Structure 1
């Protein structure tokens, strides 16, 4: 099958062009600001050598910003992070061996955007004292704090729904409606994306349960009923069988909290018995969640003595982890430049474990781009076609639209939405709940 070309900043009318020209340099600048403010703290903690390392990171950011702005060539990585550097450099070398000049505005958007975050990580890996520093940590944590009112509402209702679990186990219609509520709250949590805002705060200030009612008409593809039926149909067998879901997470902060609420609901209502929560192993796309972000969130909930609903949820989630109902993982594949059609070849062990799941939930725009290869597919292309060699099991993508790619969508609907909002594909105000169900033999 001949594939369409990748999204690229070669098209000056594309969101890829706007991203590389405007958003990425702003993100790098915010890192420079962070380092300038933290330099004295690093010197106090680690000595003068750390202050000099901080200066070297600032210099690396200035160089990176210059190279992006002037469409300079991209070269191999040169740090000591052995987990992935060979895979990155093999990918880049293969592109170069094919005679391609890899540069910021001429190459595929997915490659160069991922490369920028890996170059940011490289600057820190080349230091002795700052290798563990997350340059986006302040932005992520501030976003969480600024959403505290919405968190109060969400966790209070979650705890009520958990307490009513036994009484509702045979009430399918109530469980179904609650399922839709928590799935949609998780979906719209994806609007809190600091890479889209170039690091500017985007707090959740509204009642999430009220908000999903207002946003229902903004879900352009809504296959949530099929997802619910897929999980509910095997609910009765959970006492005898292990039913696992993989949840590939996106952003930290409020979005991560909404995802954990959805995961809590799925466990408590016995729609699955185990959930593997996949996080990033590196600071990524500004606000993507790492294991440190996950642990920090639990700590914030647990130490909030003035708000017991936070502590109740945190205690329950820690119990899920301790008894194996939640499994926390961070695999290197999620911060490589490859789209998901390469997973069988690059990370066969991850592909195999995912193939054992009943369902994979993919959160966010970047995962959607990687599912469909970030290619210029016609709008009416079947989702299954765009997945190509990534079909380990059934999957659902929960995505607010932030890139100019979307598949299996009615063209008449596209015309209507475009009249209402010409930027619907890129502004995060529209969403899809899109499914692929693997046929069983």
Structure 2
């Protein structure tokens, strides 16, 4: 167990405090505007708005209370949202939001994803059209160059065009924004029989993840892929099975190389070479070090597991204020197999960078580099 302090949101002016005090209230208002919710849902959302900013954490009032009790609810109920660990408060907020809109039912709103309009808007955006069109140029490059570009596309998420265009003559590679680059180590682990990818966001960010998996399968760098998604809407844009299907349909309905990839992904889903998994622990307010035995066994059975995105990084290494020079291997040595991370930095947690890099970043930006989303890393841990 690390002695680095757990991140909390009780310091005004800190990044976590801003998420709870400003981002969460804004999200409630956005969800209210996105759906014609009835009086019951609107009252529940208004109550959550007040509770999240001025009140204390309260029970869910559903059968899910038992699960959340096992995840630590008894310790934090009745306390300010700002006093609990940041990861726990964030997760509990989203679970309360889903209850407020009737996601878990019973009722007409059961199973209606409150974030779906935002996900679909990204898939249907002109930016997505441009990124998919870039795939046609990418297929003209050697397979190694394609792989490198698709890896960077997945890394940068909704700035995926930066990755897809890396192989375009004259393109500018954002290497100065990579604070750690273990990509050579990642490629050295391939080919494998089974690769797992723990997805982050849906919409525009899920497309490059799927394209990366398609490339690995199509070029024989993996015989089989397992894509882990959330079991229900978690945070504003996290991917679920429905989002995977939306993204594959978006690809298949495009033209050129994007359509080819979509058709291959559809076939891979149908014949089992690509499997989608949604484990209940995917929505837990806990680090992956606390995962149950059945999920641990799934990761142990894979030859390589890639965790995508900022939230998964926080859950993999622990949501703590480490010294940035803490070794990545020291925070992931419990993981039951080779593990890699593709992450754009959007929170305070960071490990595995050298002292000179940290000093240069702090001199140039203060601590903003940790949370601005303008820097990224590729980290690999092998026992």
Q: TM-score, normalised by structure 1?
A: 0.80
Would you say 1:107 and 2:84 are equivalent positions?
yes
**Aligned partners of 1:386 and 1:204: how far apart in 2?**
28
Shift of 1:266: 0.8
Unaligned runs of 5+ in 2: none
Would you say 1:120 and 2:97 are equivalent positions?
yes
**Aligned partners of 2:198 and 2:68: how far apart in 1?**
21
Cα deviation 1:408-437 (Å, max 9, x = unaligned): 211221121223333110010000101111
2:56 — aligned with what?
73
1:250 — aligned with what?
200
Shift of 1:149: 2.9
Contact 1:153 1:207 in 2 (8 A): no
User: In 2 relative to 1, CA 59–204 (structure 1 residues): closer, same or farther, beyond 3 Å?
Assistant: farther
Cα deviation 1:152-178 (Å, max 9, x = unaligned): 3343246556xxxxxxxxxxxx54433
Matches within 5 A, 1:8-47: 8-35=8-35, 38-39=36-37
Unaligned runs of 5+ in 1: 40-53, 162-173, 193-202, 235-242
Would you say 1:269 and 2:230 are equivalent positions?
no
SS in 2 for 1:139: helix
2:153 — aligned with what?
185
Cα deviation 1:163-213 (Å, max 9, x = unaligned): xxxxxxxxxxx5443322211111011xx3xxxxxxxxxx86778314984
Among 348, 352, 357, the alignment partner of 1:413 is 357
**Aligned partners of 1:275 and 1:204: how far apart in 2?**
21
Among 119, 129, 145, the alignment partner of 1:140 is 119
User: In 2 relative to 1, CA 320–127 (structure 1 residues): closer, same or farther, beyond 3 Å?
Assistant: same
Cα deviation 1:10-52 (Å, max 9, x = unaligned): 12242101111111111111111112xx34xxxxxxxxxxxxx
SS in 2 for 1:369: helix
Indicate the larger mover: 219-228 or 122-131.
Answer: 122-131
**Aligned partners of 1:271 and 1:361: how far apart in 2?**
14
Among 249, 253, 272, the alignment partner of 1:324 is 272
Cα deviation 1:130-154 (Å, max 9, x = unaligned): 0111111111111122223333334
**Aligned partners of 2:2 and 2:263: how far apart in 1?**
51
**Aligned partners of 2:363 and 2:331: how far apart in 1?**
27
Would you say 1:366 and 2:347 are equivalent positions?
no
1:398 — aligned with what?
342
Which structure has the larger Rg over C-alpha atoms? 1
**Aligned partners of 1:337 and 1:432: how far apart in 2?**
24
Contact 1:341 1:388 in 2 (8 A): no
Shift of 1:360: 0.4
User: In 2 relative to 1, CA 3–102 (structure 1 residues): closer, same or farther, beyond 3 Å?
Assistant: farther
* Count of residue pairs the alignment pairs up: 376
1:214 — aligned with what?
173
| Runs of 4+ with >4 A deviation | 157-161, 203-207
Contact 1:155 1:313 in 2 (8 A): no
User: In 2 relative to 1, CA 326–281 (structure 1 residues): closer, same or farther, beyond 3 Å?
Assistant: same
SS in 1 for 2:378: strand
Contact 2:149 2:164 in 1 (8 A): no
Q: TM-score, normalised by structure 2?
A: 0.91
SS in 2 for 1:328: strand
Contact 1:14 1:404 in 2 (8 A): no
Matches within 5 A, 1:132-171: 132-146=111-125, 147-157=127-137
Would you say 1:92 and 2:72 are equivalent positions?
yes
**Aligned partners of 1:257 and 1:325: how far apart in 2?**
18
